[in-house]
Structure 1
Amino acid sequence: MSVTLTRAGPAEILRAAQKDDFFCRKLRELLTEILLQVGGTRVLIKYRELLNATGNLMYFGATTLSGLQTLGEEYTGILQFDVLQSDIPQLRKRLLMILLSEFGQKLTSLLILKFEHHNLLRNEKSKIRPEARRDLLKFISYMKMIVPFLERLHRAVFYWTGYYCHISKHLTGIQYVLVRYWLKNRQSLYGFKLLSVVTTLQTLLVIITKSINFFNYNDQSLQAPTDNINKSVLSNKKCPLCLDERKNVSVTPCGHLFCWYCILEWVQNEQKCPICRETVLPSRVVPLQHYS
């Protein structure tokens, strides 16, 4: 006998995600207290990011990776489903989904940064023509600015279609079905479509505005620096994030200086100062005019 499965909607999936975020946060707080008692404040600051990732991996390792529903999924009555094989996702897919969800964006940013500082682009003696090297660096810098907005656009598509709430689930082909199909929330579908339109327009407007500002930016700041220039840059004039001379110097409320694009990219992913871990909102980053 064939069974028709009812696909979960955005309302059920988002409620489950909110519940899971709540339990993950509680677990991270517990781990933070333990590390603070054992190692003190200095150790806590050093391993804060690793601690956050550990808490999330512990939660989803004990639930999703073990083939169980998360507490949020159980709360809303949804179940992960592999649409490619019409079955429960295989272990390797569940593992890949968890790793991509936790480290995918960070790995992408790291790869872009690694490519940006490759010797082929930074070495004046490389075989790449200076004009091509400059254009590549400009393109990479532009991609660094755009990447954080791809998740927003993907979320807007999810609001409209109800498919794949996260890029990691899209890449692994994992969706959600309703266990209690008679509880499907159909009244909110039009509201989510409206939210999709608003989110898309707002994200595209931000991308267009940032793109205009980016391409109007002084091309001289995007030229590949030579080894001699890099050696001559004093350490107190380097950006702590890109390790190059600061461009469009900007300051956080806690008083630390960064490149404008570097710190904006950072706070889009994590709203904390990368040096002292104080809370930093994107709106609180201030560009400094005529700073040398």
Structure 2
Amino acid sequence: MALPRAQPAEILRAWQKDDLYEQKLAGSLAKFVSPQYVSKTVPVSSLLYKSLTTLQDLQTLGEEYSGIVQVDDTFHRLPSFFSRLLSIILSTFGEDITRRLLKNAEDKVVRSATLKPEAQNFFLIMLKAMGNITSKITSIHRALSYISGGPIQIGKSLMGIDYVHVRPAVAYHAHLRLLGFVTLVHAFLSCGHSIYQAKKHFEQMSDFPNEVDSSKSCVACLEEIVNPCVLQCGHFFCMQCCYGPLEICALCRTPFTKNTVVPLMNFAPGVH
């Protein structure tokens, strides 16, 4: 006879407990590293904690506290080592890996000598929008787990891992379902706003793809221009982009060097 599927409240309680222990471990590790590496202690502590528990076919402290156990999609067997390993990697580094891939794709589009300016602008805007939506995917998945159950970590869901009770379960907490719907609505609204902003930027760029950029937005980072600079080709960008990774004009693909960038004082693009 299969054990009953774990309820969302118990899964959430276990996740909160494990997150607390991971934070404490990260705080302890931070005492032994230089300040520049403190931010790295968070993923390292998560990887270490899960490797000593989940990867060893053991319950985490949070799972033991809530009386739940990880199982595969049959609900009769423990997850395979390969499934557990991939779920740990995806849960710990999945969002960071996705952002790095999108950033590399943006750099390749900017440096491309074959794409037309219109296509370049379109891909840059889409990649920027995808980057904004990435963080919302985690929120959507968490909301769905509040509503219908299942693991909170998206890595476990991708690998077909779920939870069952090994002790009598407590009553289902109805407020989690409401929280799930609210979180879901907020995440969808945020995604819609990102898509709307991408559409708005693309419409602005399509109006003057090869003319001097008079928009208030920097084509490279798609943010409002701060400390405007002008290139030899006549296009405006913010100083952070000109003196940062940008090596060719994102509008006309004209190469430039940092010493040819002209900072503009007391000038606001789009104001005539």
* Range of TM-score over shorter length: 0.7 to 0.9
**Matches for 1:201-280 after TM superposition, within 5 Å:** 201-217=185-201, 218-219=204-205, 221=217, 237-239=239-241, 243-244=245-246
Relative to structure 1, is the Cα distance of residues 19 and 201 closer, same or farther in structure 2, using a 3 angstrom cutoff? Answer: same
Q: Which runs of 5+ in 1 are unaligned?
A: 36-43, 246-288
Distance, in Å, in 2 between the alignment partners of 1:170 and 1:158 is 10
Confirm or deny: 8 A CA contact 2:126 2:198 kept in the other structure: no
**Matches for 1:131-210 after TM superposition, within 5 Å:** 131-180=118-167, 182=168, 184-188=169-173, 190-210=174-194
Residue number in structure 1 paired with 2:4 = 6
> Are positions 1:93 and 2:83 aligned together?
yes
> Are positions 1:75 and 2:59 aligned together?
no
Distance, in Å, in 2 between the alignment partners of 1:187 and 1:244 is 53
Distance, in Å, in 2 between the alignment partners of 1:107 and 1:57 is 15
Relative to structure 1, is the Cα distance of residues 123 and 244 closer, same or farther in structure 2, using a 3 angstrom cutoff? Answer: closer
> Are positions 1:48 and 2:38 aligned together?
yes
Greater Cα shift, 105-114 or 53-62? 53-62
Relative to structure 1, is the Cα distance of residues 19 and 232 closer, same or farther in structure 2, using a 3 angstrom cutoff? Answer: farther
Please tell me the residue identity of whatever aligns with 2:73. V
Offset, 1:96:
0.8
Q: Which has the higher helix share?
A: 1
Offset, 1:196:
1.7
Structure 1 vs Structure 2 CA RMSD = 3.2
Relative to structure 1, is the Cα distance of residues 131 and 67 closer, same or farther in structure 2, using a 3 angstrom cutoff? Answer: same
1:163-215 Cα distance to aligned partner (Å, 9 max, x none):
232210111110011011x2x23331x32221121111222222323433443
Q: Percent identity between the aligned chains?
A: 33
Please tell me the residue identity of whatever aligns with 2:14. A
Please tell me the residue identity of whatever aligns with 1:22. L
What is the aligned length?
230
Secondary structure, counterpart of 1:173 in structure 2: coil
Secondary structure, counterpart of 1:7 in structure 2: coil
Structure with larger Rg: 2
Confirm or deny: 8 A CA contact 1:156 1:196 kept in the other structure: yes
Distance, in Å, in 1 between the alignment partners of 2:104 and 2:113 is 19
Relative to structure 1, is the Cα distance of residues 243 and 123 closer, same or farther in structure 2, using a 3 angstrom cutoff? Answer: closer
Residue number in structure 1 paired with 2:21 = 23
Secondary structure, counterpart of 1:125 in structure 2: coil
Residue number in structure 2 paired with 1:259 = none
Distance, in Å, in 2 between the alignment partners of 1:135 and 1:20 is 42
Provide TM-score, normalisation by structure 1.
Answer: 0.69
Distance, in Å, in 2 between the alignment partners of 1:61 and 1:230 is 53
Distance, in Å, in 1 between the alignment partners of 2:156 and 2:130 is 23
Greater Cα shift, 97-106 or 139-148? 139-148
Secondary structure, counterpart of 1:65 in structure 2: helix
Offset, 1:239:
4.9
1:91-127 Cα distance to aligned partner (Å, 9 max, x none):
1111111111110000000001001111xx223632x
Offset, 1:154:
1.1
Offset, 1:244:
4.1
Please tell me the residue identity of whatever aligns with 1:208. G
